[in-house]
Amino acid sequence: MRTTACPLTPTIRAGLAHASRGCETGPHSRRRCMKVAVAGKGGSGKTTIAGTLARVMAERGHRVVAIDDDSNPNLALTIGVDTAQASKLPGLPRDLLEERTDAQGVKWLELAVPAEDFIDRFGVPVRDRLTLLVMGQPNHGGSG
């Protein structure tokens, strides 16, 4: 897989071959997993890198949950979802967080859904071993 969109693909694949050795699961091993976040300035290739990582890891047999938290979500397109299907992917419901207040008046947000059920309930399987979570889009400009 070599494209002009991601000329670093061979480098990414080589790095993943090394990094994924410690991310195996099996009936006689403890579950170990890797968590990767891709951050950077707008237009720096974050979505392309994240999509490539997700695809390659899934192709290597790892279970992957790709989370698109961009105000303009396009991660689905980089992992191979066609445009028509990508436009229909649901964002997370806005009522997932509940505001709580303790006895001292300190407020915080808490998940309304048990964390262990989150991916199963809201993740969208898009390929073998690859699930996508689209966090949602802001209601209006400046609200993201």
For 57, list phi and psi in degrees, rounded to 5.
Answer: -65, -40
CA–CA gap between residue 79 and residue 39 (Å, rounded):
18
- Identify the pLDDT of residue 1: 41
- Quickly state the pLDDT bin for 31 (edges 50, 70, 90): low
User: Where do the structural domains in the chain lie, given as residue ranges?
Assistant: 9-134
CA–CA gap between residue 122 and residue 127 (Å, rounded):
15
Amino acid at the residue 94:
R
pTM score, two decimals?
0.66
pLDDT digits (tens, 9 = 90+) for 102-125: 999 999 888 888 877 878 888 889
CA distances from 139 to 53, 54, 144 (A): 29, 28, 8
Class of domain 9-134: alpha beta
Average pLDDT on 76-82 reads 90
Largest CA distance in the chain: 57
As a residue count, the chain comes to 144
- Quickly state the pLDDT bin for 78 (edges 50, 70, 90): very high
For tokens 């859904």, what's the residue? Answer: 113
- Identify the pLDDT of residue 144: 44
CA–CA gap between residue 142 and residue 135 (Å, rounded):
16
- Identify the pLDDT of residue 49: 93
